[in-house]
Structure 1
């Protein structure tokens, strides 16, 4: 495994996403890496309803996304990470994560496995499967949901 200098992790504020934040934080602390915690949001309900999959938490407005990011940062700090940045993006979770990864030239993207084994995930795709296909950096899918 190579050294990771920039690690991105996505959170939607859920308990399972905080498990991914924990794993990313432990890695960031071990590698003395910058941890970028990202969160996607939709501008309004109409935009959210256009999304094909409804397996992820729907966050309306950037203020709600910012609250999730701050909770994620607090959680990450409890594992010894000091170099933390927060990134919020409008759009689907996949679009947002890919934008954050690319904007930060990330070395590693950490996501939870929610949706990957669901029927919807198998038919329409899931956030972890889609980012793994699209990402140019390493992707770690953390087992957060059984």
Structure 2
């Protein structure tokens, strides 16, 4: 088996997703691969952001405004550099996470997609599907689901 050339990891700004970034970064560093860090977002107006953050409480990290992924991607890239990755590309894309990550994986010719396991064990995840499970089904390439929760 050849080493991975391009590793894609998705992040939503949660600590769980940053743990997946760290794992992906260690693997990319070991393979001397490019690490692509991606964040899917849906823009909201300031008033909508405030209401959503108030209602979501601890889950408010999922709410982003019109400059959505910049801070999330910057933090993720910093954490990846700390793991020894030299070649990092950040991509923000407007859309829902599964379709966005699958699309980015194909656009950047990723060999591997890395995601955290958040949502796999929840009732909602079992009924509606979770991002990690859907990526594994739809990506058409290697998927590493990292234990992050």
Instruction: Establish whether TM, by shorter chain, passes 0.5.
Output: yes
Aligned-residue offset at 1:62: 5.0
Unaligned ranges ≥5, structure 2? 53-58
Aligned to 2:114: 110
Aligned-residue CA RMSD (Å): 1.9
Compare the two structures and name the one with the higher helix fraction. Answer: 2
Q: 1:62 to 1:69 in 2, by over 3 A?
A: farther
* CA contact 1:110–1:141 (8 Å) conserved in 2: yes
* CA contact 1:56–1:115 (8 Å) conserved in 2: no
Unaligned ranges ≥5, structure 1? 50-54
Aligned-residue offset at 1:57: 5.3
* CA contact 2:44–2:66 (8 Å) conserved in 1: no
- TM-score with structure 1 length normalisation? 0.88
Q: 1:62 to 1:8 in 2, by over 3 A?
A: farther
Figure out how many residues of one structure are paired with residues of the other and give that number.
Answer: 138
* CA contact 1:7–1:33 (8 Å) conserved in 2: yes
Look at both structures and tell me which one has the larger radius of gyration over its CA atoms: 2
Tell me, in whole angstroms, the C-alpha distance in 2 between the residues paired with 1:126 and 1:113. 9
* CA contact 1:9–1:35 (8 Å) conserved in 2: yes
- TM-score with structure 2 length normalisation? 0.86
